[in-house]
Amino acid sequence: MCEEDAILLECLEDVYHTFEKALKKAQKVRSIHVRKFEQILDELRSERRVFEDISSPARLIVEQLLESQFRVGQVAFESEYLKHPFIGVEAVKVEEFGIIHVKLGEVEITWRDGNYSYYLYPDKVELRARDEKSAIKIFFSIPFNRQTLERFPEIKMSPNVVYIHPQLETWLRGGL
């Protein structure tokens, strides 16, 4: 874990514990706002799991999805017999055991990090089940960039990564 990740994780821990303490006080109150507080606490747990529970390639994908969400990018996907055109990312959530949920419009795609291998391209990723019986392709309107990839040099050695496009390999090596 790099220094920046440690700082972010520490900040998340601080906010989480403060919010957890506040929620204990609020439990005595009968209000819909208490439910909203619980939802925020759940979102904070999901954010922590991005740093603690998923592999580097899965984290790269999650961060690219969040980048698309906050920079108004769009994502399309294909899976088995289903194709979905480009649409905005509504939500990204990481649950226990590395289960990743991505909500795209009215459709939600889910995968468990440990059950998939990753194929990385400049503007898409392909997730293939370890048994090779299913695959999910995620296409990005905002392609990966050098700065993002340079934060994940360990991806080259990840056992989950099967293929890295040559352009991405160059960026991971820090070359031109």
Cα separation, 7 vs 23, whole angstroms: 24
Query: How much is the pLDDT for 1?
Result: 64
Q: What is the pLDDT of residues 129-164, one digit of tens each?
A: 988 788 999 999 999 988 888 888 889 999 999 999
Global pTM value: 0.88
| Residues 6 or more apart in contact with residue 3 via CB below 8 angstroms | none
Query: How much is the pLDDT for 176?
Result: 53
Query: How much is the pLDDT for 103?
Result: 95
Q: What is the pLDDT of residues 52-95, one digit of tens each?
A: 999 999 999 999 999 999 888 899 999 888 899 999 999 999 99
| Residue in the structure block whose two tokens are 């592999």 | 55
Q: What is the pLDDT of residues 12-38, one digit of tens each?
A: 999 999 989 988 988 888 889 889 989
Q: Which residue has the higher pLDDT, 175 or 119?
A: 119
Query: How much is the pLDDT for 139?
Result: 97
Q: Is the pLDDT of residue 51 over 70?
A: yes
As separate numbers, helices (DSSP H) first and strands (DSSP E) second, the chain gives: 5, 8
Q: Which of 42-46, 73-77, 170-174 has the lowest mean pLDDT?
A: 170-174
